[in-house]
Structure 1
Amino acid sequence: MRTAAIAAQAPPRVEGSRPVPSEPEQAEERKLAFEGFRYTCRIVHQGSPQTEPLLLLGGSSQNRYSWQSHEKWLAPLCTLITVDLPGYGSSDFLPASYDISFLGDAVQHMLTEVGVPEVNLFGGCFGEVVGLRFAQRHPESVKRMVFAAAANRLPALYSEAVPRLTETLERGDIAGAAEGLVRLFMSNPEAGKVRRHAAVARLLQRQFLNQTQDEIRKAVEHNIRLVTHGCYEPLPVPRVPTLVFTGEYDTLCTPDMGRDLAATMPGALFTTVKEADHLVTVERREESADLIARFCTDLSVEGLAYCTDVEVPCPARLHAQA
């Protein structure tokens, strides 16, 4: 699942009268290496946190700067951590023989290196794949979990599209691949109203068209990795407060797939964000940031105007959540 993102790689900027709280003196970058592969993480520090540090693991097209547009809502609450894991962003190329468990262990390596013993974990699409494996293998490091646009199996649309997209990229038809990727990630306009649908589609296509050769090589390897190793293992999950959400018109990782994922986790809550599809965190930035912030600070996520009713897909395993 190669989640798209509108990557914010420019320096932090002022939006209106509210500065994005990621000024250089507040953020640091750490260059690390795990099993011989170099990678980089970004930390936006909060001196007076209201909750544990928030680790944001985005899709494979996202990088450690992709969440800057969310920082004005999230950074006042806690320290934020983003990362280009090996094989992604500006980090070293990672052969497809290295599986999802390797990436999950790389996350734990990062937290150990930067001295963060416990995090609130957010994973979006492919970030959920890595984040859940990290949580399964290192449950002591997770306080709460939030997953978005996620599933516990490879979507049929993705599995069918991978051979075509890989062939298109390998023959250098970047425009054709960009068009195919936009169709894969964005819902059909006739499915229902999606905020900023046309604008996000244009931005997404532009991002794919501007990929470097290094990014294309990593994208192909990413697809091979997922098809080869799969995205899910039925290992025990931490018994911590958990929320799963997606856009109500997500046609890649559908709401039913999100429910199925939530049902594998003790007492996980599930909801959909209205007027959004797979790119819910791009189309509805403020609302998705608010949902994440509420859950990570133990505020209720019931009755929010931008969400459908909250569900508990597996009530018999309900875990008391603060």
Structure 2
Amino acid sequence: MRTALTAPQGSPNTQRHGFAPPPPEQVVEERTLVFEGFAYECRIVHQDTPRTAPLLLLGGSSQNRHSWQGHEKWLAPLCTVITVDLPGYGSADFLPARYGIDFLAAAVQHVLVETGMPPVNLFGGCFGEVVGLRFAQLHPGSVRRIVFCGAAMRLPEIYTDAMPRLARALERGETEAAAGGLVELFMSNPAAGQVRRHAAVARLLHRQFMNQTPDELGKAVEHNTRLVTHGCYEPLPVPDVPTLVFTGEHDTLCTPQMGRELAATIPAARFTTVKEADHLVTVERRQESSELIGRFCTDRPIDDLPYCTPVESPGAGLARATAHR
């Protein structure tokens, strides 16, 4: 276990968006944990005077526990923030594809048990939504609120079509071609609509893919095999807790309609899209997505945010049916 004091990055816009300025110091704890023989890493930014339950952030397959440090300036003043490299991802041990989503959901529960965390506010983005939803379904008592981003109940066709081709390119050592294909997969076509920082984020994503180590490439291939083998959704009950599903309005990977479909299966779910963003909304509009997550997790209004489309309630019919049983 490693503990350090860090000075969080400030922001001149925190007051304008209604966030309290961060404290001068934060205690950041890094822990190595072991689940079923697989070592993995956990990062905890502690908040001694929280306004809400701890926030557990589960990111996409290409993100790691450090990918959310840019969001901490807005989220850490509100609560303890937890990020994790689950087995098979980031700097954790390699996880064979025979271990499916249930295993990763159990590993998430292991994080909370080992760190002594109370029930959490859960955020899951892209693949993190797949793991987060299964975690919420299997461990409902560990969840206070749910926020999903870039969510879907099925593997997008463009993903299942592209991945075998990109995997073959990697096997042939054609890293440049694979990186270009992955950028096209995760980011919208510029003709789809205006996306903030589109060119800059595309360059960042391309560089990230090009700089992957052999270990990271191996994990990426195994990740694809895991998803194709085990699927991404099981129709199990979801805890009846406040839930928000959102994505970028121009998301072409997990489209807004896919997000609505997932939200419609959750009784308390609300849905919105963030303007001028696509699947990588949490990167393209980091401050706005952080504010949206923070407001929802502290029970503040989200209905009239200027960067969001009107909030919908796709699960309202399911909620009424459940209430009348």
- TM-score over 0.5 for the alignment? yes
Tell me the TM-score normalized by structure 2.
0.92
How far 1:25 sits from its partner (Å)? 5.7
In the alignment, what sits opposite 2:63?
62
Residue type of the partner of 1:58?
Answer: G
2:11 and 2:73 in contact (8 A); partners too = no
Q: How large is the Cα RMSD of the aligned pairs? A: 1.9
Structure 2: how far apart are the matches of 1:213 and 1:221? Answer: 12
**Structure 1 residues 22 and 181, CA, compared in 2 at 3 Å: closer, same or farther?**
farther
How far 1:159 sits from its partner (Å)? 0.5
Residue type of the partner of 1:306?
Answer: Y
SS of 1:123's partner is strand
SS of 2:235's partner is coil
In the alignment, what sits opposite 1:137?
138
Task: List aligned pairs for 1:4-43, cutoff 5 A.
Answer: 14=9, 26-43=27-44
In the alignment, what sits opposite 2:317?
316
In the alignment, what sits opposite 2:195?
194
Structure 2: how far apart are the matches of 1:70 and 1:143? Answer: 21
Higher relative contact order (CA 8 A, sep 6+): 1
In the alignment, what sits opposite 2:3?
none
In the alignment, what sits opposite 1:252?
253
Aligned length: 310
Task: List aligned pairs for 1:219-258, cutoff 5 A.
Answer: 219-258=220-259
How far 1:305 sits from its partner (Å)? 0.4
How far 1:73 sits from its partner (Å)? 0.3
1:262 and 1:269 in contact (8 A); partners too = yes
In the alignment, what sits opposite 2:18?
none
1:22 and 1:68 in contact (8 A); partners too = no
In the alignment, what sits opposite 1:7?
none
In the alignment, what sits opposite 1:79?
80
SS of 2:238's partner is coil
**Identical aligned pairs, as a percentage?**
70
SS of 1:157's partner is helix
SS of 1:216's partner is helix
Residue type of the partner of 2:208?
Answer: Q
In the alignment, what sits opposite 2:17?
none
Structure 2: how far apart are the matches of 1:24 and 1:149? Answer: 32
SS of 2:250's partner is coil
In the alignment, what sits opposite 2:216?
215
2:109 and 2:139 in contact (8 A); partners too = yes
**Structure 1 residues 24 and 130, CA, compared in 2 at 3 Å: closer, same or farther?**
farther
How far 1:170 sits from its partner (Å)? 1.5
Structure 2: how far apart are the matches of 1:310 and 1:25? Answer: 34
How far 1:162 sits from its partner (Å)? 1.1
1:22 and 1:71 in contact (8 A); partners too = no
1:12 and 1:68 in contact (8 A); partners too = no
SS of 2:39's partner is strand
In the alignment, what sits opposite 2:147?
146
| Structure 1 segments (4+ residues) deviating >3 Å | 11-25
How far 1:21 sits from its partner (Å)? 5.6
In the alignment, what sits opposite 2:290?
289
2:8 and 2:22 in contact (8 A); partners too = no
